[in-house]
A and B are shown apart, each in its own frame.
Chain A
Amino acid sequence: MLHYTIRRLIAIIPVLFIVSIIVFMIVHLTPGNPAYLILGEDSSPEAIEQLEQQLGLDKPKVVQYFDWLRNVFVGDLGESIYSEQPVSQIIAERIGPTFSLMIISMLLTLIVAIPTAIFIVWKRNTVLDPIFLSGSLLGTSIPEFWLALLLVFGLGVTVPIFPVAGYVPITDGILGWLHHLLLPGIVLAAVEIGLIARMLRDSMLESVNQDYTKTARGKGVKESTVLIKHVFSNALIPTTTVIGVTIAGLLGGTVIIETIFTIPGIGQLLIDSIHRRDYPVIQGVILFIAFVYVIINLIVDLLYAFLDPRIRYD
């Protein structure tokens, strides 16, 4: 297990290195001169040159990259051009809402998807199964923004149970926090529930007629125990990958949802920064999102080993 963990950790290093190059290139190779955009159309060439010097934009790209990378290593992501605050500080301020939203929607997803999948597999030879399949397809097909608007209209405006926008930190009370995040959480979860329940159902059906379930039934074990204990524990292994990818994908989903519900999270920060051409922040946020992606994948890999002894003891 230790060996496996170390191997996984080492595998991260090249990934992060490549990510850093891509992030740097995305910002620096796209057309448009940041200094020019910051200062505006009427600026003089001298002022632009001066700002370029100040930002280090006149140096060769390779030198710029290594300067930037050196700073990233010590946690210095530069300063925002717009607010002149350190980028790391800006990101830190915006993590809370985004992570809250991710956690809420993930919990909602798992709470609904797991029992649904188990129930459907239990009733696998009934009409419920095709109904479930259409339902999950519908769930994954609904565009997030459309569902968001529908829910805002229904549960925010027509029957005003939930606030239509805004965010309350958890430190100001868990109820207010939950109250503000439930609607966007449901929107994000709707897509994932369909996907994960479907995936779990498929892997459970695959394992429901495996020989080891015969052994379990042959012991006189109840069908519900066979499903929940023997089938589910095996089906969870491939599903974990999908859950991991989903959590990471939520980061992308939050960009839209945070904008609709005006939640001051990472996604909104990214959109705003792109509008402002605040490239140190853009760089920082993309790098941060990539980093979270990598970490989630690492956790999935470790979870894999936890769930599957064949990997753990390899």
Chain B
Amino acid sequence: MISLLKTFGKGILYVLGFPFFVLALVLFGVVGLFLFAFQLIKSVFYFFTGRKFFPELQEDKELRLLKEKAAEAKEEAETKAENSLFEDTSFNEVTFQPISDNQSIFTPISNEPLFDDEENDPIPQPELEQEQVKKAVFISDDDVDDDFPLKPFGSAPEVEAEEEMMEEEQCLEEPIFREEPKEEEEPAPMEPLEREEETIDIAEPKEEEEPQEELEEYVPEGSSYTDDIEEDDTNSGVFIDYDL
């Protein structure tokens, strides 16, 4: 009932305000028609000058620039994040420079080796004794220097080119013997196991076990060490002479 009375009151107000609303509506309609006429003249002018019918407003231009800046900042942040994932501080610093047009992608930018910095090399190089020097691939034992330490990640030892050639020829001249692979004998086929049928006779009385004969000590044939072993020997047959 109250809502009905409220609506009734609103109805009275709307009846009183309806003419003003219609007046405002007609006014906006007429203004709109004038706007159309004005815009039509402007659009003809814009068409022949190559401009858009609705040129960009100053505020829209500022907004567009702001969005472009934000997009650029976002892209830079993303590329920085991607590059930081691939950075490895254990290796020496290597600067990657953009390759110019005159430079081939297969030639290194700098001729210096990447990991030849003895002073700044973080990988430890233990000093090995002479006895622990391993043989290099193309170097014989006679050519190894007594004081030559082996560097696991260092540069290769300097070998003369002529010696290399000689060694290669020697390797080629030596016959390579290879044992022929033995023919594997095929294993004998397995015979099926014969199982005895288990039968349990409950009615039959149990048989008494026969007394077992005493077993003799086993002495292997042909061994002479047993003669020397004494009963008190606790060294498993090893003779230790303490007379110094």
Are A and B associated in one complex?
Answer: no
